[in-house]
Amino acid sequence: MEKQYDIIVAGSGISGCLSAAGAAKGGAKVLLLDRNDYSQVGKKTNWGWVCGDAVAKTHVDFVNKEIGLKLTEPVLDVEVEGVQVLSPDLSRKFQFEGAGYSLDRPKLAKVLVDFAIKSGAEYLPHHEVEGPIIEDGKVAGVYGRDEKNEQYRVNAKLVIDCLGVSSTIRRKLPPNNYIENMISTDDIESTGRYIYHFDPAGEDLSYYDKKNALIHLNQQLAPGGYGWVFPKSNGRVNIGIGVEKKSLELRNAKLSKKDTLHMLIDQYVEWNPLIKNVRVDETDANGKGYWSVTVRRQFDSLVFPGYMGAGDSMAMPNPISAGGIGPAMTAGAIAGKVAAEAVAAKDTSMDFLWKYNRRYNEVYGNKTAGLEVFRIYLQSLNNELINYGMQKFLTEEEAIAISYGNIPDITISGTFSKVLSGIANINAFKNLLSAVKRMKEMNRLYERYPESPASFDAWKKIVNENMHEVKERFKPNPI
């Protein structure tokens, strides 16, 4: 490739298209690369656009305001009132999040890439990205294979990595203290979902609700994760589960089972008395799929010399809900703007790019470390303790506050009226207090996110120490 670009955006998924649009709108010469062709743009794997398809309205409103992207039907397939989280015995239901949408992911992908092109980005499909070009310790472009399977190399002043969770650029960055090459399996959920046409066998809002996205906490059905039933248009449903590897192994060992993710999804569908007479929705060959999603805080830094990352490549999904569409949209819109400013200032150093770290942290990232703590705590509870905890430990308001990363004041004395019985419950409650204290500490640390790379190492050391202690205290214990 002969042409020179200011910015290469690798990956034309959600974060990639919005990064490319933002950078092009900011006046930069942008190349947007992806391995798929236009008809399959945004498709994550051979299994399709694998996703639960749910996004909060607040995220959709943010990109509209930040970058001028207005999403409408049919991309916004169904509007829901919120997300409801149910206890394993279904006796307790907390309403989270507020209004949101179930999206049509293949249609969303086309709207996004068209938006990037219209904003001025050059879009090049059929280009597999194999790794970063490194010159003088700085990312200076990418290399890979084109549609004829021939090697290509293309240089740019800045690369934005939007290749998703298994990014080939991030994994091949030179070892450094800012961006991790690999993500621990403890922080990954194996997930899968089906999009089904079905005939509802009666009415029961604990199993299917046209107006709400349902989440089932259940360590036997979905160890270390949860199951979901999200409504879609035309009598369809998006149904799936996420599981954590260690929790699944422990659960299988204790129950003498050999269940796999695939078997568990089928069991979850079977368990639901309302979702009957199912037929896979074959539209876009997107009816059944499996993929991974991270449930940790985003990487502590999202930049490296000549490099920025957004979306799943930087582990941005929410640690409790695994919702990554909103963070990918938010990060993309911010990253593109900052990238264009860096090119205009002729400065793609870490010092300049650091403002992206700070802005993402302000807008979304500052609560995710606390949420990671809560996710690790939740994985240490079996069904009985989750049932009990959702009845006695937390009010709905407190649980909602936690889900937003706003930590309520829960103390032993303040919650004395929350009757505790049995040593397991007392220990679980003490652990909740400890988790909440850690969440507060994490939130305070992220309020003091480093102003520049110079103070990053010292700050990161404290973050790592805190998280290590949390992982030592709360071990997966699904059964």
* Sites of contact with ligand FAD (CB under 6 A): 11-16, 34-36, 42-44, 50-55, 128-129, 162-164, 168, 191-193, 240, 291, 293, 311-312, 317, 322-326, 328
- Alpha helix (H) residue ranges in 345-455: 350-363, 368-378, 383-392, 396-403, 423-447
Residue listed under structure tokens 């299988």:
252
Farthest CA pair distance, the chain: 72
Tokens linked to 417? 């009226």
- Of the pair 161, 398, the CB lying nearest ligand FAD is at 161
- Of the pair 54, 371, the CB lying nearest ligand FAD is at 54
The kind and range of the H/E element at 294 are strand 288-294
Tokens linked to 253? 């060992």
- Report the interhelical angle of 105-118 vs 14-25 (nearest 10°): 20
Shortest CB 256 distance to ligand FAD, Å: 28
Distance CA 113, CA 122 (A): 10
Shortest CB 286 distance to ligand FAD, Å: 12
Shortest CB 89 distance to ligand FAD, Å: 24
What letter would DSSP give residue 205?
A: T
Per the CB < 8 A criterion, the answer to whether 316 and 332 are in contact is: no
- Of the pair 323, 405, the CB lying nearest ligand FAD is at 323
Residue 435 CB partners (closer than 8 Å, separation 6+): 373, 374, 376, 377, 470, 474
- Of the pair 116, 400, the CB lying nearest ligand FAD is at 116
The kind and range of the H/E element at 111 are helix 105-118
Q: What angle is formed at CA 453 by the lines to CA 451 and CA 456, rounded to 5 degrees?
A: 85
- Of the pair 26, 324, the CB lying nearest ligand FAD is at 324
- Of the pair 328, 435, the CB lying nearest ligand FAD is at 328
Per the CB < 8 A criterion, the answer to whether 374 and 299 are in contact is: no
Shortest CB 160 distance to ligand FAD, Å: 11
Shortest CB 230 distance to ligand FAD, Å: 7
Residue 74: cis peptide before it, omega within 30 degrees of 0: yes
- Of the pair 53, 66, the CB lying nearest ligand FAD is at 53
Burial class of residue 301, CB neighbours in 10 A (0-12, 13-18, 19+)? buried
- Of the pair 124, 433, the CB lying nearest ligand FAD is at 124
Residue listed under structure tokens 């649980």:
399
- Of the pair 315, 376, the CB lying nearest ligand FAD is at 315
What three-state secondary structure class fits 259? coil
Shortest CB 392 distance to ligand FAD, Å: 29
Shortest CB 318 distance to ligand FAD, Å: 8
Q: How far is CA 178 from CA 101, 156, 336, 364, 444, in A?
A: 34, 21, 20, 19, 20
Per the CB < 8 A criterion, the answer to whether 33 and 11 are in contact is: yes
What three-state secondary structure class fits 300? coil
- Of the pair 48, 306, the CB lying nearest ligand FAD is at 48
- Of the pair 188, 373, the CB lying nearest ligand FAD is at 188
Shortest CB 472 distance to ligand FAD, Å: 28
Shortest CB 328 distance to ligand FAD, Å: 4
Per the CB < 8 A criterion, the answer to whether 99 and 80 are in contact is: yes
Shortest CB 193 distance to ligand FAD, Å: 5
Shortest CB 390 distance to ligand FAD, Å: 22
Neighbours of 276 (CB within 10 A): 14
Pairing of strands 236-244, 188-200: antiparallel
What three-state secondary structure class fits 96? strand
